[in-house]
Amino acid sequence: MHRPISPLPRWRRIARIVLILVGALGLLVLARTWWSFRDRNPGYAVRLDLDGATATREPRPLRVGFGRVKINPDLSDPRRPVWLAGFSQHRAATAIHDDLWAVAVVLDDGHTRLGVVALDAIGFFHDDVIAVRRQLAADLKLDYTIVCATHNHSTPDLMGLWGPDLLHSGIDPAYRQQVIDAAAKAVAAAVGSLQPAQLALHEIRTPPENIVTDTRKPIVFDADIRMMHFTRPDTGATLGTLVGWGNHPETVWSKNTEITADFPGALRDALEHGVTHEGRQLAAGLGGVHVFVNGAVGGLMTTHPTVTVEDPYLKKEIRDPSHAKSVAVGRQLASRILARLAEPGAAATTHAPIAIRARTLSLPVDNKLFLLAPILGVLDRGHTGWLRMRTEVALVTVGEASIACIPGEIYPEIVNGGVERAEGGDFGIAPVEVPSLRELMPGKVKFVFGLANDEVGYIIPKSEWDQRPPYLYGAKKPVYGEVNSLGPETAPLLHAALRELCAKAK
């Protein structure tokens, strides 16, 4: 006779259930980790070495084209809030104050074709840039396309960090796809509008006082305006401009909940249409289409609420954050540009050989928050391996202009010089990112395109890196910056890669 099997003690049954649940949870975490860190674009790499030699030997007329596509989000469904990026979580958009755009320019020297598209956006990851490039048809004959974000802090979250709370992404996949599609359409429209052009280069001294401030020592700016002005060779009429300047578009500040292009939108509008107030035209516009690309904004460059900005046309000083203050910043830039273009005798050329050198890089990810965020589903970008992230650098020359494409928010001292062995720095080393990029770059007018083809966060000189006490320059609390950086090796690696490209260009 068989003895009946006695049931397991209650505590053992509970322990078994707990073990099963823990195991299942562990498998889910592993699966989520794999999914979050998988390479979205396996094998993707850029290695371009177009030296422009043929265009120099066999010059052909320069052509340029512009295109733009609106990228406003849909705010009609209250059940699908649009989360604004750049300050804090749970900041839902309530209205559209002024339009957001993808604005593109395409340059063609008869041998090489270059596309640039600037997005009114907080940032655009490299995977998204690849998605834009893959939408560009082969018959557009583009050799290289640069996708930049203006780093606007009153636009929809396209990075994931500013959702309803710390644990949820702020990205609407449909809006992300809308922006990808719009960027590709803007570039295609620019190709379709290619026409003969002449190019004039301008570097306009712009003192930072009462426009932008540096909120972290050492005090170094990327303050001057650099511009390409494209006109018709036969009439001199403006076709458009490409303008570079370094400042965070966050003028309306953290309490704003209205979609706005901030000062880049005001600048573009003033250049195209001029300035009108109460029916009176205070300044004539140029017509054409105008592309704004941000520069070295790390450090951090901002029109802080303590900065008083004067609207140069209304002669009105504005201190408190507002849309009017954003317009004043844009008009400050426009007034300088319009004054420069009104001067006679600017040298222009119909021949501007284009050279492109670009490289894919793999950067180490040391920031623990950047490792946790993908597992939580907050950051959604691929990794090329454990603790490695794909990005890209480039050096482009257009005639006597050069452009360094930087995949994030680079500190101006790396660009213009002034990196310090900072007192209190974690490494206590001499500056690594030297000589400055502009010393290395060829040409007469040297542009820096920040947030170009990626947004890896702040690019901080290693000798100024500071997460442990004592803090920089005797500060009583940690400085801001490192929390939004991949790690201390980011700047040295990017500087070394760009230094190599500059050496090849020279």
What's the pLDDT score for residue 84?
98
Cα(149)–Cα(116) distance, rounded to whole angstroms? 11
Please write the tens of the pLDDT for every residue from 32-57. Answer: 666 677 898 999 999 999 999 999 99
Neighbours of 306 (CB within 10 A): 8
What's the pLDDT score for residue 498?
98
Q: Residue type for 231, please?
A: T
Neighbours of 330 (CB within 10 A): 27
What's the pLDDT score for residue 4?
58
**Domain residue extents for the chain:** 10-39, 46-506
What phi and psi, each to the nearest 5 degrees, are found at residue 16? -65, -45
What's the sign of the alpha-carbon dihedral 207, 465, 295, 282? negative
What's the pLDDT score for residue 16?
78
What's the pLDDT score for residue 28?
67
pTM of the model: 0.94
Helix H segments across 359-453?
368-376, 412-416, 437-440
> Checking phi first, is residue 495 left (phi over 0); if not, alpha (psi -120 to 50) or beta?
alpha
What's the pLDDT score for residue 386?
82
For residues 119 and 71, is the Cβ–Cβ distance under 8 A?
Answer: yes
What's the pLDDT score for residue 165?
96
What is the helix (H) or strand (E) element at residue 340, kind and residue range?
helix 323-342
In the structure encoding, which two tokens stand for residue 30, read together? Answer: 């592993």
What's the pLDDT score for residue 313?
98
Please write the tens of the pLDDT for every residue from 237-247. Answer: 999 999 999 99
Closest CA to 188 of 138, 229, 148, 131: 138
Cα(480)–Cα(482) distance, rounded to whole angstroms? 6
Nearby residues of 308 by Cβ (< 8 Å), 6 or more positions away:
210, 317, 318, 319
pLDDT in single tens digits along all 506 residues of the chain: 555 555 667 777 777 778 777 777 666 666 666 667 789 899 999 999 999 999 999 999 999 999 999 999 999 999 999 999 999 999 999 999 999 999 999 999 999 999 999 999 999 999 999 999 999 999 999 999 999 999 999 999 999 999 999 999 999 999 999 999 999 999 999 999 999 999 999 999 999 999 999 999 999 999 999 999 999 999 999 999 999 999 999 999 999 999 999 999 999 999 999 999 999 999 999 999 999 999 999 999 999 999 999 999 999 999 999 999 999 999 999 999 999 999 998 899 999 999 999 999 999 999 988 888 888 889 888 888 888 999 999 999 999 999 999 999 999 999 999 999 999 999 999 999 999 999 999 999 999 999 999 999 999 999 999 999 999 999 999 999 999 999 999 999 999 999 999 999 98
What's the pLDDT score for residue 35?
67
